[in-house]
Structure 1
Amino acid sequence: MNKAKEEFKEILSKLERSNIPFSQLNKSTVIKNFKFNHHKLVLQPLMFGCVFLLPYFLMMNLNFSENCIIDMPDAIRKILRQPEYCEICVDVYKVDKISSISPTEFLENYVKKVHPVVVTDGAVNWSARSIFNFKFFKEYFHKFEIKKHSDKNCQFFPYHTEFRSLREAFNVSESRALSNEKEKPWYIGWNNCNDEAGRYLRQFYERPYFLSNLTESLALSWIFMGGPGPGAHMHVDNVHYPSWQAQLRGRKLWKLAPPPECHYYCNNLEIIVEPGEIIVLETNRWYHQTIILPGDISITIGSEFD
């Protein structure tokens, strides 16, 4: 609770420095915003009823074998998110960097505790490190391109770019693909939903050695690629299991934040993941943001495991 006390002291300190008489505070816009409006007391329950009952009605009347009519907004997902137990982040002051760890030790020390970790020798010998680049994935995309009528479950993340599809992203100029300084920065991600393509990529990487006694999805789940600049914004995923992400090229700064309910008990963390390293993180419980550091284009592959 020390963090809460410090923030409250800072608020009081700013108030004292402002020299605003307490008698004038009641006239301030901030205080007025806190006052109740009797009309709002009637409208707010109706609004909340629509927000919570409409999704329930849709779920009861939709065929779950079909795609959703509308994706649930992030704001609603946050409201409906289950509260976290802060044991996952209490007394975690840094992201460990480890190597030569056995699957059993890894399971006990990190997976079960839901602690983020970077395995420095996780991908050092993978051939993907020298083979994967923008040109490789462009050719891979055209080779295994999924027809529009069958890619309904595939996801594409444009992040801060103007791209509307993976096809558009792979049609950029060579100069922009190489992230030349005069070009607009770019960063994208997509999930592989083609088992044949997943098996093709599998020849260039291995199952992470520290997960050898754990199960993993057949096909590679995610690929992230982009030049120096902002990566993914601060967010939490909506997935079933923890995941690993192997940094094949480039350097990426990860910023981690605890769940909101643990704000006053846990610390924000930062870690730089270097080429050949693998970060393992419970992305549906730890909030995370990425920044691509100056230098080579960043290429990351990853998958969930249970």
Structure 2
Amino acid sequence: MSSAEAERRLGALLAKARSMQVCLGGESSRLEGARRLLGHRRSIAGWPPWLPAAILAVTLALIAWPAIELLPLGWSAQDACSVYMPDQLVRALRPPEDCSMCRGLTKVEKVANISPEEFEKRYAYTGCPVVIVDAMVNWTAQNEFSFEFFKELYEESSEYSSFQMNCQFFPYETEFQSLQEVFNMSEDRARMKQGTKPWYIGWSNCDEVVARVLRRHYSRPYFLPATAESKRTDWVFMGSPGYGAHMHVDNVDHPSWQAQLRGSKLWKLQPPPECYYDCLSMEITVDRGEIIVVDTNRWYHSTLIVSEDMSITIGAEFD
């Protein structure tokens, strides 16, 4: 199938979805972006002959997926949409990126003593990843945060019982279904004793009491621009050597920073698919005391704990 034919069919599918009142979760622009990408790449040499058909096939699966949510809670006859698509399916197609964000990059730099003005100009919103090596000088989090610290903190919180209803939890390749289950693991496994099963999990904190305690131990990174606001939702990632997150791209609102409080973590970054011919994949090991800044909405990324010590990372978005 040619890209022109794939573009025509995708346009027809989108029009059909609108006529059937299929709601694409407020992100129909992602599908429109895919259609524009087909049109934009028609004349580019090297376009694999199978790719237009593949894009169309994914779109068909997204629109016709049987897991669509019919008549969600609170639906009324006045609602504009009769059918809602799950967010995870809508994210299957993204609008094409401007490859200038990665063109010419060959490595992730490690820098120190960078001013907010220079950081804003070179890294903050350009999509160019960077590691800041001196941003935790006055933080106590490196010495205070541990599995036991988080376990005690959450178990003392009055909001702990409703945590899993209000916050996101990422089990990755473990069997855990909630943060409660993580903190109920055996002491030997939590301490990563030989012969126990490795683990790696992450979560967002939305408990205000916990947030106040966490932020006693770290402050706003000094390199953020004066006009940038660091979001109040903390993200925590924790686990044992040899584990990490699979290759993926996020669906959050802003770029983010992640502080490596304990252990070392290998980051693998891949450019978005439309930039494969223009940009390189990169790797960087982030060691204890360093902060990586990366737009995880634009860079596909995976992580792997490469230290012998447990890895603990905390981070937040900024705008």
**Does the residue aligned with 1:222 lie in a helix, a strand or coil?**
strand
Q: CA deviation at 1:51?
A: 4.5
Structure 1 pair 70–159 and aligned structure 2 pair: CA distance change class (3 A): farther
Partner of 2:201: 188
1:102 and 2:124 equivalent? no
Higher relative contact order (CA 8 A, sep 6+): 1
1:117 and 2:164 equivalent? no
In structure 2, stretches of 5+ residues that fail to align are: 1-44, 51-56, 78-82
1:303 and 2:303 equivalent? no
CA contact (8 A) 1:258 1:287 kept: yes
Structure 2: which amino acid aligns with 1:192? N
Fraction of identical pairs, as percent: 50
Partner of 2:103: 90
Aligned counterpart for 1:72 among listed residues 65, 78, 86: 86
Partner of 2:230: 216
**Does the residue aligned with 1:168 lie in a helix, a strand or coil?**
helix
Asked which structure has the greater CA Rg, the reply is 1
Identify the range of structure 1 (139-148 vs 102-111) with the bigger mean alpha-carbon deviation.
Answer: 139-148
**Does the residue aligned with 1:199 lie in a helix, a strand or coil?**
helix
**Cα-to-partner distance string for 1:124-156 (whole Å, 9 max, x where unaligned):** 431010111111011011012525557533111
Partner of 1:201: 214
1:176 and 2:189 equivalent? yes
1:161 and 2:174 equivalent? yes
CA contact (8 A) 1:243 1:281 kept: yes
Aligned counterpart for 1:50 among listed residues 37, 49, 64: 64
> TM-score, with normalisation over the residues of structure 1?
0.77
1:285 and 2:298 equivalent? yes
Structure 1 pair 162–99 and aligned structure 2 pair: CA distance change class (3 A): same
Partner of 1:16: none
CA contact (8 A) 2:256 2:316 kept: yes
In structure 1, stretches of 5+ residues that fail to align are: 9-30, 32-42, 64-68
> Residues of 1 paired with 2:60 and 2:138: CA distance?
59
Structure 2: which amino acid aligns with 1:78? A
Partner of 2:258: 245
CA contact (8 A) 1:124 1:277 kept: no
> Residues of 1 paired with 2:295 and 2:76: CA distance?
30
CA contact (8 A) 2:117 2:225 kept: no
Structure 2: which amino acid aligns with 1:111? A
Structure 2: which amino acid aligns with 1:198? A
> TM-score, with normalisation over the residues of structure 2?
0.74
> Residues of 1 paired with 2:63 and 2:145: CA distance?
50
> Residues of 2 paired with 1:275 and 1:62: CA distance?
52
**Does the residue aligned with 1:230 lie in a helix, a strand or coil?**
coil
> Residues of 2 paired with 1:131 and 1:269: CA distance?
32
> Residues of 1 paired with 2:138 and 2:121: CA distance?
25
> Residues of 2 paired with 1:267 and 1:116: CA distance?
13
> Residues of 2 paired with 1:205 and 1:101: CA distance?
19
Q: CA deviation at 1:50?
A: 3.1
Q: CA deviation at 1:217?
A: 1.8
CA contact (8 A) 1:89 1:258 kept: yes
Structure 2: which amino acid aligns with 1:132? F
Q: CA deviation at 1:70?
A: 8.9
Q: CA deviation at 1:95?
A: 0.3
Structure 1 pair 71–173 and aligned structure 2 pair: CA distance change class (3 A): farther
Structure 2: which amino acid aligns with 1:102? S
Structure 1: which amino acid aligns with 2:315? G
**Cα-to-partner distance string for 1:96-138 (whole Å, 9 max, x where unaligned):** 1000000000000111321000000112431010111111011
Structure 1 pair 44–129 and aligned structure 2 pair: CA distance change class (3 A): closer
Identify the range of structure 1 (144-153 vs 267-276) with the bigger mean alpha-carbon deviation.
Answer: 144-153
> Residues of 1 paired with 2:241 and 2:109: CA distance?
24
Structure 1 pair 85–45 and aligned structure 2 pair: CA distance change class (3 A): closer
> Residues of 2 paired with 1:293 and 1:227: CA distance?
9
Q: CA deviation at 1:49?
A: 5.0
Structure 1: which amino acid aligns with 2:92? K
Number of positions where the alignment pairs a residue of Structure 1 with one of Structure 2: 262
